[in-house]
Structure formats: structure tokens, C-alpha cells
Amino acid sequence: MSAVPYLAGLRLAGRRVVVVGGGVVAQRRLPALLAAGADVVLVSPEVTPAVEGMAGAGELGWERRRYAAGDLAGAWYAMALTDDPEVNAAVVAEAEERAVFCVRADDAPRGTAVTPASGEQDGVRIGVLTWGAADERDPRRAAAVRDGVLEALREGRLDDVRRRVADPAALPGAVALVGGGPGDPGLITVRGRRLLAHADVVVADRLAPRALLDELRPDVVVVDATKLPRGRAMQQEAITGVLLEHARAGRFVVRLKGGDPFVFGRGSEEMADLVAAGVPVTVVPGVTSAVAVPGLAGIPLTHRGLAHEAVVVSGHVSPDDERSLVDWTALARLQGTLVILMGVDTLPRIAEVLLAGGRKPSTPVGIVVDGTMPTERVVVSTLADVARAAADARVRPPAVVVVGEVVAVRESLRPAGP
């Protein structure tokens, strides 16, 4: 059995790291080195397209040739990642002579350093190493242990650890504007879920993932924003008042919104009010329904040869309403994809204006109702018939409407079945 490896964290910012080999292994290892701020020099006659992109963007230096003795001069750390055992052995030998620690990908026990299976959760980065020739040549055991620890942290099963790694934004008297995603509780971001776990108060939208509220601690105060005074201006004023009230009382408040806070979510209005009041605010972006709902229903917003543009627009105000800020005539001239949110009630008039502006009557239209939820259903029609189709299908909000040739792609993306 090989000696137990010594765990250490390397500070590589600004320090020369030489990587020999530009294949898929390098493609996996390079991002962590770049994130650490290392001055990476890559030596390889060929590289993967992704690695070439890193070099083209100036993230690393690429020596487009085979390894040669002397390449490790001035290096603090090295990686031998080629598929040629002789080259890798030569790199390790030079590293040994220069007292430079070196990872050898094809035969880990013969290197002088080992890359741990690493991951990050709740602001803590963990690394797992196994040793012994068999384990070092097959890193799946270390990866399995890492994944188990990260999952336990995410799910709160390591309570003592979790309490010590609270998100720095979860401060008394602070507010987090969290995008909850399109509805399915599994589509909230990792950080969004983490901040919910630390919340003292949660102010939730009607479209926020309701299932997440069941995971909150029993002592968390939940405020249903849909039950606050009606009328758009009055409701927004009341929501801001609730956020300020609890923040000023020294509580950590999460404002849980459907989709993304800054995509037709009035998150910027709430943030502006909080900033003006001197309350610390953190924004956690969410997966917007404009992209996620069509995608999960099999409708891509862009598709080669069909759509080179995708425009997201609010349909809550009818095109002929003087309050409308949308140039529907201009949108009618577009050849790409049009995504309409909050447009169920105004859909008949929107279709009329798009047709009058030049959109073809045969243009496919997809309406995804209750997207990402168990009750999801999709209504497919044409622009000429969509008003009737929506009425016949009894379409009700929430629904995302997609206008464009990409809707027809859905048939080819649906899995075969009975």
C-alpha cells in the first residue's frame, strides 16, 4: 500500500503551472486551475475545442508542440495528462528533479501529487482522497464519498456542519430576493435553496415553488404576498412594507419569487426601495419560465436554420391599450421566436396584431400551461387559429406562449412511446 497522501491547499494565484496534454482530461482539470488564478502554460500539439477556446480567450498560454525537457522550468506545479505513458513518465521525472509536485493522470501512484475529488457547498470546499494503488487508479470511490457528503450538506443531514457554513448573505436585518424558478421545486438554484434554509421570514409569490415552503423550519414566518392588499401599486407598497418591517426587526428575510426576480418580477422595484431604506439586499437569479418552460416542453427558443433570435415580451397589457410599451408591429416583422408571458387574456388581440403586421397565419404557436408542474399541458395551434384553440382548451394562467417555427421542432424531440 502506498503512503497516505498529505492534504494541502495550494495557493496558485499568479504562479506558473505547466499542463502537458490538451485532451479531455486537461479540459476537466483546467477550469479549477484557472479559477485558482494560476498562470497556466499548456504544452500539447493538439487540444480539444473547449481548451482551444480557453487559449483563444487568453485564459492560458498554449505551446502548440510536444513536451520537451526543460518545459517545467519555473513551475510551481505540473500535470502530466497525455495518453502517452512515456511522455507522462518523462514529465514526472523532470518534476522530481526540479522539486515540483506533479500529477500523473494515467498512473496516479507514480505521480508526486494527487488531484482530490472536490466540490463546494454552503461556502465550504471539500476534497476527498483515497490511497492504495487500486483506489488511486480508480477514483470512483473518492467521487462517491464526495457526492455523499455534498448531498448530506444540501439536505441538512449534517446539521452540525450546516450551522457552521451559513451563507454570508443570511444576516439579521438583510433581505434576499430569490428567484424560485418556473414552478418545479427542483429547479431553484442551489444558493436559493440554501438561503431559504436560513430564513426567518419568507414572503412568497403565488407563482413561487409552493412545495419549498414545506421544507422550512417550523418557526419560519411565511407571508403570502397574494393576500396583501390588491391593486398593483398598493400591493407592491404593502410587500415592501412587510420586507422592511421584518428586516428592521433584525430578521433575515427571503423574498421568494417565481422565475427570475428581474424578468417581469418587479424585483428591481423592491430592491430600489430596500436600498433607499438602507437595508442590505442580495439578489439570487432564478431560472426564468420564458426559457425553462418551453424547453422542458420540447420547444427550443432557437434552432439552427429556423430562429436566430428570441424575444421575451409581457402580454399583460393589450396591444391597443395606451399603457402598452410594446411595439407589436415591429415584433410582427421578426422572423425568430416570440415568447409571451402573462398573455392568456390578451392572446386573441395579440394574434390579430401580429397577423396584421405580417406574420404568416400558418406560424406555429405553442401554449404551455402549468409548465414544469404535474398538471402541465401543451396546446399547439397556428397563429390564425390560436385564439379559438386556447378557448377550446380552456387555457388559464399561468401559461407561456411561444410563437415561431421552433414550435414545430417539438414533434421531433418527443420520446417515442405508446
**Mean pLDDT value across residues 343-372:** 96
Looking at residue 1, what is its pLDDT? 42
Average pLDDT over residues 248-259: 96
Mean pLDDT, range 112-120, rounded to an integer: 82
Higher pLDDT among residues 233 and 414, named by residue? 414
In a domain, 10, yes or no: yes
Task: Express each pLDDT in 313-343 by its tens digit.
Answer: 999 999 999 999 999 999 999 999 999 999 9
- pLDDT at site 160: 45
The domain spanning residue 220 has which CATH number? 3.40.1010.10
Tell me, yes or no, whether 59 and 76 share the same domain: yes
What integer best gives the mean pLDDT of the chain? 89
Pairing of β 310-314 and β 253-257: unpaired
Report which DSSP code applies to 366.
E
> Within this chain, do residues 136 and 216 fall inside the same structural domain, yes or no?
no
Instruction: Inform me whether the pLDDT recorded for 413 exceeds 90.
Output: no
Q: Which CATH number does the domain housing residue 343 bear?
A: 3.30.950.10
Residue 379 counted as domain residue: yes
| Alpha helical stretches, state H, 39-84 | 49-56
| 74, part of any domain | yes
Q: What is the mean pLDDT of residues 147-153?
A: 75
329 with 357: CB under 8 angstroms? yes
User: Residue 166 has what pLDDT?
Assistant: 59
What does the DSSP 8-state code read for residue 147?
Answer: H
Residues 183 and 272 in one domain: yes
Q: How confident is the model at residue 163 (pLDDT cuts 50, 70, 90)?
A: very low
Residue 23 sits in the same domain as residue 102 = yes
**Is 123 a residue whose pLDDT tops 70?**
no
Same domain? For 275 and 301 the reply is no
For residues 112-129, give the mean pLDDT: 77
Whether 170 is covered by a domain: the verdict is no
Three cell numbers at 103?
500529477
Is there a single domain that holds both residue 10 and residue 105?
Answer: yes
Instruction: With respect to residue 363, please indicate whether it lies within any of the assigned structural domains.
Output: yes
Cell of 212: 419549498
Average pLDDT of the segment spanning 249-269: 94
Least confident of 189-198, 218-227, 274-283: 218-227
Going by pLDDT thresholds of 50, 70 and 90, the confidence category of residue 226 is confident
Task: Give the pLDDT confidence score for residue 135 in this predicted structure.
Answer: 52
The boundaries of the domain holding residue 233 are: 175-284
Measured CA to CA, the distance from residue 200 to residue 193 in angstroms comes to 14
**pLDDT in the model for residue 372:** 92
Q: Are 201 and 246 in contact (CB under 8 A)?
A: yes
Q: Report the pLDDT averaged over residues 207-232.
A: 77
> Lowest-pLDDT range, 22-31, 145-154, 192-201, 301-310?
145-154
| Residue 201 clears pLDDT 60, i.e. is over it | yes
* Residue 10 shares a structural domain with residue 108: yes
Lowest mean pLDDT across 120-129, 227-236, 252-261: 227-236
Instruction: Note whether 257 and 233 are same-domain residues.
Output: yes
- State how far the alpha carbon of 267 is from the alpha carbons of 46, 258, 283, 360, in Å: 47, 11, 9, 36
> Which helix (H) or strand (E) element contains residue 178?
strand 175-179
The answer as to whether 30 is a domain residue is yes
> Can 205 be counted among the known catalytic residues?
yes
Angle of the 232-248 helix axis to the 267-276 helix axis, nearest 10: 50
Active-site option among 83, 227, 320, 327 = 227
Is 417 within the bounds of a domain? no
Least confident range of 9-18, 160-169, 335-344: 160-169
Residue 414 pLDDT greater than 80, yes or no: no
* Of the ranges 80-94, 142-156, 184-198, 222-236, the best mean pLDDT one: 80-94
Overall average pLDDT of the 58-72 stretch: 97
Q: Kindly tell me the sign of the dihedral angle through the C-alpha atoms of 403, 404, 408, 412.
A: negative
Number of domains composing the chain: 4
- Find all residues with CB under 8 Å of 82, minimum gap 6, and list them: 20, 21, 23, 44, 67, 88, 105, 106
Same domain, 78 and 155: no
Reported confidence tier of residue 147, pLDDT bands at 50, 70, 90: confident
Task: Identify whether residues 261 and 371 lie together within a single domain.
Answer: no
Whether the per-residue pLDDT at 40 is higher than 80: the answer is: yes
Catalytically annotated residue among 71, 122, 205, 260: 205
Both 298 and 353 in one domain: the answer is: yes
Output DSSP code: residue 405.
Answer: G
Q: 175: closest CA among 205, 207, 203, 210? A: 203
DSSP 202-270: EEE-TTS-GGGGGGS-TT-EEEEGGGS-SSHHHHHHHHHHHHHHHHHTT--EEEEESB-TTSSS-HHHH
Of 121, 118, 126, 117, nearest in space to 165 by CA: 121
Rounded average pLDDT over 369-382: 94
Of the two residues 153 and 22, the one the predictor is more confident about is 22
CATH code (residue 86): 3.40.50.720
d(CA 184, CA 376): 11
124-133, 245-254, 266-275 — which is least confidently predicted? 124-133
- pLDDT tens track for 77-108: 999 999 999 999 999 999 999 999 999 999 98
Of the three residues 256, 284, 312, the one that is the final residue of a domain is 284
Q: Which helix (H) or strand (E) holds 35?
A: helix 24-35
Among 2-16, 86-100, 258-272, name the one with the lowest average pLDDT. Answer: 2-16
Sign of CA dihedral 240, 245, 249, 252: negative
Report, as an integer, the average pLDDT of 289-314: 95
Instruction: Give the list of residues 6+ apart from residue 134 with CB closer than 8 angstroms, or none.
Output: none
Q: Determine, yes or no, domain membership for 235.
A: yes
pLDDT of residue 7: 80
Q: Is 227 a catalytic residue?
A: yes
